[in-house]
Amino acid sequence: MTENADLDVLIFAPFGKDAQLIENVLRQSGISVRVVSAAAEMTASIPRKAGVAIVAEEALHTAEIEVLAQKLEAQPPWSDFPLLVLTGSGVSTDATERAVRARAPLRNVTLLERPLRPATLISSVRSALNARQRQYEIRNHLEKQRLAEEALRRAHDYLESQVEGRTLALRKLSAKLLRVQDDERRRIARELHDSLGQYLTAAKINLDLLATDGHHDSPQLVEAVQLVERAISDTRTLSHLLHPPLLDEAGLASAARWYIEGFGKRSGIVTSLEMAEDLTRLSSDIETALFRILQEALTNVHRHAKSSRVEIDLVADETAVVLTIKDYGAGIPRDVLGRFQKSGTDVGVGLAGMRARVKELGGTFEVQSSPAGTTLKATIPVVQASEKYSDNLGPRPHAQSTASA
């Protein structure tokens, strides 16, 4: 098969013998030729196997040029269809100048002066066909690239969906684990209060009875009373830290005040709380999440920040509740913070757990840190608002109340 044999050469020369002569010369050279008798036929044939068109100058009237120009203008970016225009003897006249200007919209035009030498004709046609062949190769390359990009995009979308699905599954699992953890804390707190706390209280009562029976001067009895009192106090504190009854009975405001006051006394860190007096009570899930975030954040300040003071700010409106905790300690290393913000890793379970709690409730969790300190900000949308916060509110309906030992 000869080179470019799959591309046709269109010949549009309806006057004289040019079409027949050109056809014979090209066929003898093994070039595929098709003679067309009208401009519309040539225009329609351009997208179908056409490699080049040979057009007689006298056949290009204004109307044909406009239609052909529109066709060529609509070519895809890779295509620049070549036209070989047969001109006169080369003498420049007003008519030839007008013809040149009229052909300008046809773009890729090469002029062949008559009379034609066969070698010149064949060389021009082969050059045009080779150029057209390269255009088709570019088209094929672009098509392969497009298909590869589509395949890559589909693979990317599939992987994204897999990652999204697994992320959602992990988020649900994380939320379930947090709920199980909270339930377990409630159970242990209740057991400490109802079981160990009651046993210690009973032991204290017996020791007090012994003391009233004349044994109050015994140093062993005095020490035993003191140890039991300390055990009762520690048990009560541990039970309340696991799940403070105030959280269910009076809400986050009272529980936060109680916890922050106790944290300041236990840690020696100057702790301040800014909070409106009439904050609206929130859903149990939101209040529990914010209290656990407060606990975890202050624990991190005590263990890692080496800060002498910490500031807590709790505000809420009709749309969201925002908890901000700011310390003035050593801060989180930049690379560690960067990894956490990017993937949530390399910072232990504390920050990851806080963010998981907030995300489960549709909120946002922000961490800003420098050598001057760290600021945590949890923003959770408020779905429902009910009663006003008040320290002397009774228990909510269905709330699990745990009285102090």
Q: pLDDT of 269-282, one tens digit each?
A: 999 999 887 777 88
How far is 93 from 91, CA to CA, in rounded Å? 6
Interval 136-176: pLDDT, tens: 899 999 999 999 999 999 999 999 888 888 877 877 777 67
pTM over 0.85, yes/no? no
Name the phi and psi angles at 154, rounded to 5. Answer: -65, -40
Q: Are 286 and 293 in contact (CB under 8 A)?
A: no
Nearest to 200 by CA among 154, 234, 152: 234
Whole-angstrom Cα distance, residue 178 to residue 195? Answer: 25
Q: Which of these, 291, 317, 44, 257, lies nearest to 182 by C-alpha position?
A: 291
pLDDT beneath 50: ranges in the chain: 1-3, 384-405
Are residues 19 and 46 in contact, defined by beta-carbon separation less than 8 angstroms? no
Q: What is the DSSP letter of 91?
A: -
Question: How far apart, in whole angstroms, are the C-alpha atoms of residue 323 and residue 152?
Answer: 43
DSSP string, 73-84: HTS-TT----EE
The reported pLDDT for the residue numbered 193 is 67
DSSP H or E segment with residue 38: none
pLDDT at 399: 37
Q: Which domains does the chain have, with CATH numbers?
A: 8-116 (3.40.50.2300), 247-405 (3.30.565.10)
